[in-house]
Structure formats: structure tokens, C-alpha cells
Structure 1
């Protein structure tokens, strides 16, 4: 029996074929950036399938401009974030509470959950990619472009980013979180952010196999993809330098070590960090260091408070995140006015505020996560 459901705007296509649930993110012009309606459709669907005996496996992909695959998910809808923050739209609060609840649901999903991470996989796209749970199978391709680029817009790697980046080997998590570096398939596997690799031209057949074969097909695909070779690795070659610099105790020390080095990689990396929000670099490093000792639920509760702080207007009505989105996506002048404007000028009290929860524990919007 085959059934197909769509949400009212058709931004999520939901199908049941055999014993497999199939999800296609269908907002290609926005690179499948997540809206609140999409988050709600995904959550309701997965809650249903988690309990349904008729479904034994789930697969999720994105729709590209020319058809299925080629773009997974570029993250949350940052234009909506900017509009909501400027206008006082309360839906921004609902978005993050419900998105983080979805991230936790995906991580704890009790059945095989296959993610086709072809094309762009960034921000919120990483949040629905399984977080490396035992049931997830995260498939990268030669077209995968993966990143947590939030420091570029004055934000932090949320959707559980503190938790999964803190569990990358060595100091790779700090490197990826602070720089927002875009990586490909082999680097994603090296960092523990992908479980296997598929050729781009093999994706349609793999999707059909899952649709027809359920959990058995997932097991076979897992074995094949885990053995596949991939090209384009760069993290392994830089691991010694990454671990040496990004394991240092604070951001000034990290940047100082990079600027003191004489190789092109270090100079380029230092220049990248100098362009990011100085405040959020400090916040992000603290986030990852704290998240290493947390469960995912604890990390998501921490991040929920952090993201509330990100959209608050401080002195002079300034929000680093609103300013970063303005510069990147609204005015597109790529000249954010960061406050403070230098890494060395960030006061510890500014950083500490991000970790001061706006809610007591009994009233936290994610208090029900375990």
C-alpha cells in the first residue's frame, strides 16, 4: 500500500511505501530551509511513525531545483528570524522550542533513520540528520557541502551543535564551530558527522531499495556505504595543527597561535576568525566546552536559553544575530558591525549572560526532554 501526504504548503512530502516512511523536504528555492510549518509536519510525522507497527524504517532527502536530491537542507529560515526579531513576532520563540524538540526526537528515534545528505547540509539541516544515533544512517556524497556556519551571522551552532561537535575527534569540533568551515564527504566521515558515502548517481536506486525493503534494506545499505571510498579530504592533513591550536583555553590564545604560525593554512584560518563575530566566538567556545559533559537534552536546554539571548536587543538596540543576518541576507553588504569589534575586547560578563537561563528549571520550555 502506498500513501502520500503533504503539508498545506507542500513544503514537506510524506509517503508510506511498503513498511518504509519516506520524507522529502520540498522547498528547493530556499534550499529546503526549515519553516515552522515544516518543523511541525516533520515532528507530527515522526511521532506517528515511531509508534506505528506498519513502519519499520524512515528515509529523508531534500528536493533540488532540478528534482530529488542535490540539496538537503540549508538550515532555519534566517530571513524569518530577522523579520520576527525586528517586528516582535512571537513565532520565533515557537520555532526554536519546536525545532529543538524535533532534534531530540530525531536523535532518539527508535527505528532506522536514513538521511541522504546530498548537496547543502548546514545548520538546521544537521539538526535533522540524526546526531549520530545508533539508528541513524547519515549518507554523504561527492556533492555534500556540510557546515555549521552560524558564527558568520553572529549566532552559534545550535540544534544540538554543541553536543555533536563536542564529540568530534580531537579539537575538530572547536575548529568547525568557530570557523564555520564547509567540508565534504570524507571530511564529514573523518569528523564523525557522516556514517557512509554513496555516489550521486546511486542515490535514486538506493531510495527505491529503501522504499521496497524496509529495515533489511537499511542494513544492507549501511554495510555498502561504510566501505565506500570518498575524495576531497583536508581535515586529516591539518589535524595536528587543528588539535594544537583549537585545544587552547580561549579564543585569543587560539587566534594568537594561528597568527604566530608561518604556514598558509594557519594564516587563512586566523583571517577567517577575525571576520566572525568576536563575541560569538567566545560564546561558541564556551558552549562546546560545557556541552562535552552534557546529555543532548541538557545541551538543547542550554542552547534554547542561548538563542533567546541572541535575539534580545542589548545596549542601543543591538543584537549580534540580527546584525549578522542583516549584513549577510537582508542588505547583503557583508559588513556586519560587530559589538565588540575585536576578539581581545570581549568582556567575560557579556559571554556569561548567554549561559544565564531566562527561565527557572521548572518553567523551561524544554523541561520535558530526557
Structure 2
């Protein structure tokens, strides 16, 4: 079965992610095919816009993309498979291509939109969510960091919301993603099929007119303004603090309710990768997208090749996190170090040290 379905109709390139048995998680083959299609359509003057959606076993929509194939990450991390390097280089190139795409790129983000799914949608001209959308960057849950340009787009969320989302992996439901600046419009999921069909409606002459019609339809479905259920006014104060330890200490002193819930989440994460993630988002705030992706490519190398920690890749935080969550499913990762106060700057800084010279970096040509 083909995992990427594509066609061109009336000047629009349509893409459907079709690996629904894995919630459309991205494989290397899918990443390569998306990159190939978008590059061809970029150069094809008859393709004036691109639309992308996911699917479930019931048909189109329902889920967008649950991220990368983390079972593959675990297997490759344990075996030293060089396809891991190939995957992340190709994926980050795809992310850059989408963010810099010269034609309208419309992402229909119904259902699950996580990790790698964010990487192929946050650069869209229009990011359309529904009441069923479940959006997150949950990488710290597996001892990883929010990649695929996560440093870039999370650091540009309002205030210090990006630090909160990146460190906790907070789930955004429907309207929440608009509040966070990670979506442009929310619509009723029942309207998706018609909106998709309208993009190739030959009775509306010209792709530009169809896009204008789509935007007017989206504006007519504007949601009622509301605060997310998880929002707390103390987020900006806590997550603006200089260190993970200060954040944890502050939450500990705030009592029950929201502070205790957030503290509980942070205490389940890899202490080391919390520190790496905070540094990543803070550094990315002043970076271009290309520089952020180059930094993340260094980070991902150092997550799986952990000689800088005196460990093998098999004992990396990421391999251990995936083991505990999806392989053995014991939900008891053995983080190293096990406590936040045991993490030192000397442990964190090597994650940002490139194994390549600037000229040899696999993403050196991105601008």
C-alpha cells in the first residue's frame, strides 16, 4: 500500500498521508517521497498551490500525522543503523522546504498532529484545525527534544508559552492551537471534505480565486474566543525563569492544583533532556529557521551518539525513553542522571557541539 497518495487537479497538488495503521507516522520512504513531490511541484508552473491531509482506515481526515517512526528510532539507535542519520537529514530538509515553499501550502490538521506532523505543517501558508485536533510536541516524554524546527516555532509562541509546551508536551485541543499561535483557523470537522473539494472546483476560475474563497469560508467559521483549560497566568512567570531547577522550585512552592500537576509532569521527564530542551528553545529564539535546523541536526546526532556522555547509543536517554514508552511499555525509564539537581552545564553543552565543520554539516546549504 502506498503511504503517500498524490494527484494534481485544476492547478492544485493534493497529498494524502496514507499510513493510517501507524497514525501516519513518517518513515524515511515517506519523507523522501514528500520531498520529491514538493520539489517537482515547486518547479512545475501548472501547480499553483499544494494541500495536504492525513487519513484513517475509515477514509480521509481523522488524523494528520503522529510524528516520526519512533520504533525505527529505537531499533536504529540500538544497532547503529546509518539510516537514522539519513532520516533526520532528509526530514529537516523537508521541514525547510515547506517553511520556505514559494507557493501556497495548505495543511488540514484534523486529529493527531504531533512531532514530525508539526514539522510538515507549521510552515504552511494556512494551518486549519478542527474540534478533533490533538496537537503537541511531546518529545521530552521519550527523552528527546522538540525537533523538526520546534526550536524555531515554539520560541515564537506568545511569551514563554513555547518553553512550557516544549518541556511539558502539553496537548492542544482544537482552539488551543490558535491561542498558541500554532494554527490559523478552526473549522468543524464535518466541513473538511467540502473545503478540500472546493480547492479543485473548476467552476471557480483560477487557483487564486479558489484560495480567496477558501479563506472567506474559514473566516466565516471563526471560533468563539476562549482560554484553554490548561492555561494558567503563571505560565509566563514560571517558564521565563533561568533554569529548570528554578522552575521546579517555584512550582513546588505554589501548592496544589495547576503547579502540582505541571511539577508532576516535569518530574517524569529526563532531567538531562529538560535542560537540553530549554537551552534549545532559548537559543532558537534569535536564530533563523536554517540555523535552528542545523542546531537540531547537531542535537539529534548527539542524542543517539552519546560518547560525549561516556555512554553508548544503546544507553542514551532517547533509546531508554522509547524503550519504556513503546517497546517494553513499563513506563519506568531509567534516566541518567535521575534528578534535576544532578544535571550540570558540562553535561548539557556537548549536545550543542557539532561533530562536523561548518562546511561538512549535512544541512550546510540551507539558507
TM range (shorter): over 0.9
- Change in 2 beyond 3 A, CA 1:234/1:326: farther
State how 1:197-216 maps to structure 2 within 5 Å.
197-212=186-201, 214-216=207-209
- Change in 2 beyond 3 A, CA 1:266/1:43: same
**How far apart are 1:222 and its partner, in Å?**
2.4
User: Which among 117, 122, 125 is matched to residue 125 of structure 1?
Assistant: 117
Cα distance in 2, alignment partners of residues 346 and 178 from structure 1: 16
2:169 alignment counterpart = 180
2:83 alignment counterpart = 91
**How far apart are 1:215 and its partner, in Å?**
3.2
Cα distance in 2, alignment partners of residues 256 and 224 from structure 1: 47
User: Which among 69, 72, 91 is matched to residue 64 of structure 2?
Assistant: 72
Contact 2:143 2:269 (8 Å CA) reproduced:
yes
User: Which among 92, 107, 116 is matched to residue 100 of structure 1?
Assistant: 92
The farther-off stretch of 264-273 and 210-219 is 210-219
Cα distance in 2, alignment partners of residues 237 and 73 from structure 1: 23
Cα distance in 1, alignment partners of residues 226 and 294 from structure 2: 34
2:134 alignment counterpart = 145
2:331 alignment counterpart = 334
Cα distance in 1, alignment partners of residues 221 and 162 from structure 2: 24
Contact 1:20 1:56 (8 Å CA) reproduced:
yes
1:301 alignment counterpart = 294
Give the unaligned 5+ runs of structure 1: 1-8
Cα distance in 2, alignment partners of residues 32 and 269 from structure 1: 29
Contact 1:178 1:281 (8 Å CA) reproduced:
yes
The C-alpha deviation readout for 1:23-77, integer Å capped at 9, x for no partner, is 0000001000000010011001101111211111110000112111010000000
The C-alpha deviation readout for 1:288-327, integer Å capped at 9, x for no partner, is 1100000000000000000001111443532000000111
User: Which among 323, 346, 349 is matched to residue 346 of structure 2?
Assistant: 349
1:189 alignment counterpart = 178
The C-alpha deviation readout for 1:163-212, integer Å capped at 9, x for no partner, is 00000001110000000011112110011100001111000000100122
1:43 alignment counterpart = 35
Task: Tell me the secondary structure at the aligned position of residue 238 of structure 1.
Answer: coil
The C-alpha deviation readout for 1:108-141, integer Å capped at 9, x for no partner, is 011111101000000000000033x6xx100000
Task: Tell me the secondary structure at the aligned position of residue 22 of structure 1.
Answer: strand
**RMSD between aligned alpha carbons?**
1.5
User: Which among 47, 56, 78 is matched to residue 48 of structure 2?
Assistant: 56
2:7 alignment counterpart = 15
Contact 2:122 2:182 (8 Å CA) reproduced:
no
Cα distance in 2, alignment partners of residues 118 and 205 from structure 1: 14
Corresponding residue pairs, total: 359
The farther-off stretch of 254-263 and 338-347 is 254-263
Task: Tell me the secondary structure at the aligned position of residue 96 of structure 2.
Answer: helix
Cα distance in 1, alignment partners of residues 213 and 256 from structure 2: 44
1:285 alignment counterpart = 278
Contact 1:12 1:25 (8 Å CA) reproduced:
yes
- Whether 2:262 is the aligned partner of 1:269: answer yes
- Change in 2 beyond 3 A, CA 1:181/1:231: farther
Cα distance in 1, alignment partners of residues 120 and 30 from structure 2: 12
Give the unaligned 5+ runs of structure 2: none
Cα distance in 2, alignment partners of residues 236 and 230 from structure 1: 15
- Change in 2 beyond 3 A, CA 1:335/1:41: same
**How far apart are 1:234 and its partner, in Å?**
4.5
Contact 1:153 1:321 (8 Å CA) reproduced:
yes
The C-alpha deviation readout for 1:212-231, integer Å capped at 9, x for no partner, is 25332222222332453447
**How far apart are 1:361 and its partner, in Å?**
0.2
1:25 alignment counterpart = 17
